[in-house]
Amino acid sequence: MVKELVIVRPDDWHLHLRDEDLLPITVNESAKSFARAIIMPNLVPPITKLVDAKSYKHRIMKALKPNLSFIPLMTLYMTEETDPREVEKGFMNGLISAVKLYPAGATTNSQSGVKNFEKIKPVLEIMAEIGCPLCIHGEVTDSNIDIFDREKVFINTVLEKIRTDNPTLKVIIEHITTKDAVDYVIAGKNNLAATITTHHLAINRNDLLAGGIKPHFYCLPVVKREDHRLALVEAAVSGSPKFFLGTDSAPHLDHDKESSCGCAGCFTATNTLEILAHIFEERSALNKLELFTSINGAEFYEKNINTDKIKLIKKDKPVSFPKKLSTPLGKITIFKPNFETKWQVLA
């Protein structure tokens, strides 16, 4: 039985760090395990301009403890007004690694996102030309569409058209939640990939809803039924270069989640690798963990593979994690699935 695992230091290809009082905590929590992360731009106001991305990057680096190293890979938040020249400049000079597309109203701070997809055609054309990846929150926002169907409908109605119009565009469907998305990504060419979160691999909608609603399991896209979770696990452990880790670790204060209208997001930065090791081991796929966490994403984004390694060890007993993170604004609950893990990352 494997008791020790050494893998290339992971990257997180989808992360929310927020800003100001939360930054010192979120940045350093991720930097303990991850070398780099794609930083989501859904701040208030959102990061829509290169000048904003530059100063946000500076704030992130300032918040990083001197004994840790971490590279934030910045993104721009796409609006209907995004200037293609701005994207070209930022991608070519290395400030941004991708552009993030939120359909307006799909999730936290997405009000400035896109309603009319015709308006972003010129930006998508430039991105396809220069090889700048498009990260997509893949859900329609039409209130007539059932929330459990929003990913599938987005793929069929919006994404398929974007990809047909821009056949060379690099597209990452973020935080996929359905078997439909897995099948769509597998069927696509190799400029189509997907990130999968820790929580979507660990819980299903029964965990969220049966026996009482669990606000700390609520995220968007919402977790689906068990057969969809199993399809995600299958994709993650397959080793396919089209699937890689994007934790979507998204801090919200407890009082905002434990509310009559709770915020969406699970905070998984603290224990993601330990949870993933458990899931991969259960599928006899520990040898594929490194591809999912440390190789596939870097290759898709055409970044170097990290040179340093991390070690995970398997304890005889389940490992315990802190339940909460303390921040100057209040507590944040750390995601805890309905199973325990014996794996631990050595600091």
Q: How far is the CB of 18 from ligand DOR (least distance, A)?
A: 8
Q: How far is the CB of 103 from ligand DOR (least distance, A)?
A: 11
Query: For residues 105 and 239, which CB has a smaller minimum distance to ligand DOR in the complex?
Result: 105
Q: Of residues 37, 38, 53, 219, which one binds ligand DOR by CB under 6 A?
A: 219
* Residue 137 in contact with ligand DOR, rule: CB under 6 A: yes
Contact between 10 and 35 (Cβ < 8 Å): yes
Instruction: Give the whole-angstrom CA distance, residue 66 versus residue 69.
Output: 8
* Residue 166 in contact with ligand DOR, rule: CB under 6 A: no
Q: Catalytic residue at 248?
A: yes
Strand runs labelled E in 78-138: 96-101, 134-136
List 194's β-bridge partners, or say none. Answer: 173, 243
- Which residues, numbered 230-289, are part of the site for ligand DOR (CB under 6 A)? 248, 250, 264-265
Query: For residues 126 and 194, which CB has a smaller minimum distance to ligand DOR in the complex?
Result: 194
Which one of Zn ion, ligand DOR, none is in contact with 137 (Cβ closer than 5 to 8 A by kind)? ligand DOR
Q: What is residue 131's three-state secondary structure? A: coil
- Interaction mask 221-250, Zn ion, x per CB under 5 A: ---------------------------x--
Instruction: Give the whole-angstrom CA distance, residue 199 versus residue 267.
Output: 9
Query: For residues 250 and 277, which CB has a smaller minimum distance to ligand DOR in the complex?
Result: 250
Tell me which of 248, 254, 256, 316 is the catalytic residue: 248
Query: For residues 70 and 218, which CB has a smaller minimum distance to ligand DOR in the complex?
Result: 218
* Residue 36 in contact with ligand DOR, rule: CB under 6 A: no
Instruction: Give the whole-angstrom CA distance, residue 224 versus residue 204.
Output: 5
Cβ burial, residue 164 (10 Å; 0-12/13-18/19+): exposed
Q: Of residues 220, 269, 273, 332, which one binds ligand DOR by CB under 6 A?
A: 220
Query: For residues 333 and 344, which CB has a smaller minimum distance to ligand DOR in the complex?
Result: 333
Give the residue closest to Zn ion by C-beta: 248
Task: Please tell me what DSSP assigns to residue 277.
Answer: H
Q: What is residue 136's three-state secondary structure? A: strand
Cα separation values, 300 from 31, 87, 98, 174, Å? 21, 19, 12, 13
Q: How far is the CB of 122 from Zn ion (least distance, A)?
A: 25
Strand runs labelled E in the chain: 4-8, 12-15, 36-39, 71-77, 96-101, 134-136, 171-173, 192-196, 243-245, 309-314, 324-327, 330-333, 343-345
Q: Of residues 30, 42, 247, 249, which one binds ligand DOR by CB under 6 A?
A: 42
Within 8 A by CB and 6+ apart from 26, the residues are 16, 17, 18, 249, 251, 269
Query: For residues 218 and 301, which CB has a smaller minimum distance to ligand DOR in the complex?
Result: 218
- Residues identified as active-site: 248
Binding site for Zn ion (CB under 5 A): 248
Binding site for ligand DOR (CB under 6 A): 16, 42, 107-108, 137, 219-220, 248, 250, 264-265
